[in-house]
A and B are shown apart, each in its own frame.
Chain A
Amino acid sequence: MSVKGVKNFVPDDVRVLVQGITGKQGSFHTEQMLKYGTNIVAGVTPGKGGQEVHGVPVYDTVKEAVEATGANTSIIFVPARFAYDAVLEAIYAGLNPIVVITEGIPANDTVKFLRIAKANGVRIIGPNCPGFIVPGLTKVGIMPNQYFKPGNVTIISRSGTLTYEVAWNVLKAGFGHRLVVGVGGDYVIGTNFLEFFDEILKYDEDTEAVVVIGEIGGDDEERLAKYIVETGFDKPVIGYVAGRTAPPGKKMGHAGAIISGSSGTADAKIKSLKEAGVHIAYRPSDIPEILKRVIK
């Protein structure tokens, strides 16, 4: 089966650069991605140029790496305090998309690099995300390899582990994945649900159904619901929202997962999605059954 790239997002010819490749995380996931078949062409760690990590050449700067290898996509593992610099280095070297795995980046840094990315027409995924996978084509992320197979179900999620759980359930039910992406658990993220739908999914002919995994906090789910209503998005969408039992005012693991006052509750999100015609799953295990119903 030959799998194509995803328009406005993943090029057919993905050539991955790993920023922070010599670190523990960077090195481990480089190996995992290579095992999956990802075309990792270069790594960068300042001061470690000339080394190799799992056979991947390491450069001191992103510019050199891009010039030497034609890398077009970046995945970033550098520690939070260096992330701002690393993302901008990638932007100005022309990499696009840029996946920021790093957790713990201050929101002040994130809003700045997102704004500059936008001014340069560059897409950012994350921060604090598991990345993305297009089974059969590439994995630019940290998800475990074994739960993903090519197919036509796209999963967009604010979560990490829960996404793998759902992906696995989808697989066990006999479906495969077109694209699985974790948008990130941080308070401010590069590409949110609405943007994914409007800029990417509506153009992707290979997506037959979309599973959206939301959680408490913010209003990304509500805004997506509004978008679906307003644009008449015409592929079946299944929604699951985690945190129905979460108390207000407490940060539930993710920086963005917090109910403030009366806003950001799971119930409000579920209500909005339901009214927009989204098929609601109340348990992750409901998803395969719904998929069987909505995919003819």
Chain B
Amino acid sequence: MERLPLVTTSPQIHAPGSTRRVMGWVLAALVPAAVWSIVLFGWRAALVITASVAAAVITEGLLNLAFKRENTLNDLSAVVTGVLIGFNMPPEVPVFIPVVASVFAIAVVKWSFGGLGSNWMNPALAGRVFVFFSWGTDMTRWTLPGIGGADAVSGPTPLGSVKLALSDLSAGIDGPMRLLESAGMPTTYLDLFLGRIPGSLGEMSALLLIIGGLLLIILKIVNWEIPVAYIGSFALFMWAFDGMQYGGGIFSGDVLFHLFTGGLMLGALFMATDMVTSPLTLKGRIIFGLGCGLFTFVIRRFGNLPEGVSLAIIFMNILVSLIDRFMKPTRYGVVS
């Protein structure tokens, strides 16, 4: 025999899979949405996404070098963080903003805690919220997508327009879609679904995000519990309580509008599901998802910040350790 067989501790076989493979599939699932954002917004979208990925990767690489840690770039997690930060930026954002967001995400939120797996808050979202509160004006300047993006016109997001229009609401408008129409932004559900609305780069098309998300669920890269609990509870709250702003009764909210606008799909499928920053157990993940749904609803319905999804998820990140503590599986042969 040319070389000695391996000596290892049991188990002697492993399910196929590795961190790199997990991250690789997440990236693959994000590709359609990335391509679509470049189609809609042009080279600017590509620039923003590239800049945030580059900043994330370089930051991680430099920190590894400076602190003599082993190279972790191969696990691709920094790339995922970078892409998601790019996805969370408005198209016309000055490039320094995604760069700062990536540096903050990797250096402060991830590396300080020990790198991949040790951070308790979602790095990309923390980075996004950090730059949002720092440069709010730049982070809330939207452009209307147009194929090629050449002559993009500036305008608020549907959620933003609805919030504005609501403040001087006159009678007879029975929902957000009608409100948009009266605000001079007639929009169809299909527009929302395909992303023909202003918004962050990656959250444009609910359709493409759902396809990517389903792929990850089918491959068992992400668990179904969080997306289902999150989207489900959010839809329920919106259906039950959102209609009241428009003078409707209970259970008259426009669920479709809220499901397909803003970052809900991106957040629920790709960000709340980051395993590092979500609970370990099934019960825990369901509670986490419900919490995200509730807080997203509260912030969207009552708050003025256009940040429901990001803030709800990072708020629930705080609770993950406690959820894990109390939602442990019942142990065999141990009566509590």
Are A and B physically bound partners? Answer: no
